[in-house]
Amino acid sequence: MTLRTARWTTLAAGSAATLLIAGCGGGGGSPENAATSGEGLTVLAGFYPLEWAASRVGGDLASVSSLTPAGAEAHDLELTPQDVAAVSEADLLVYIEGFQPALDEAAESEAREAAWDAGQAASLTLTAEEDEDGHGAEDQHADEEEEHADEGEIVDPHFWLDPTRLADVGDALAERMGELDPDNAAAYAENAVALRADLEELDGEMQEALSGCAINTLVTSHDAFGYLADRYGFEVVGISGLDPSEEPSPAQMAEIAELVQERGATTVYTETLVDPAVAETVAAEAGVGTAVLDPLEGLTDESAGDDYLEVMRANLETLREGQSCA
**Footprint on this chain of Zn ion (rule: CB under 5 A):** 224
- Min. distance of Cβ 60 from Zn ion in angstroms? 31
Nearest CB to Zn ion, comparing residues 66 and 266: 66
The CB-of-221 to Zn ion minimum distance in angstroms stands at: 9
210 or 224, CB closer to Zn ion? 224
CB closer to Zn ion out of 17 and 224: 224
Of 199 and 224, which CB lies nearer to Zn ion in the complex structure?
A: 224
List strands edge to edge, sheet with 115-117.
62-66, 41-45, 92-95, 115-117
Nearest one of 167, 89, 169 to 121, comparing CA atoms: 169
Shortest gap between Cβ of 158 and Zn ion (angstroms)?
A: 5
Whole-angstrom Cα distance, residue 78 to residue 102? 6
Least Å from the CB of residue 32 to Zn ion: 34
Taking the C-alpha atoms of residue 217 and residue 234, their distance in angstroms, rounded to an integer, is: 6
Rounded-to-integer distance, Cα 248 and Cα 233, Å: 25
Strand 153-155 and strand 127-129: the pairing is antiparallel
Give the CB-nearest residue to Zn ion: 224
Smallest separation (angstroms) from Zn ion to the CB of 295: 6
Interhelix angle 163-180/185-209, rounded to 10 degrees, is 180
**Spatial separation of the C-alpha atoms in residues 154 and 168, rounded to whole Å:** 22
Provide the greatest CA pair distance for the chain: 61
We find the least distance from the C-beta atom of residue 94 to Zn ion, in angstroms, to be 17
CA 78 to chain centre: 17
Name the residue nearer to Zn ion (CB basis): 16 or 224.
224
Closer CB to Zn ion, residue 183 or residue 302? 302
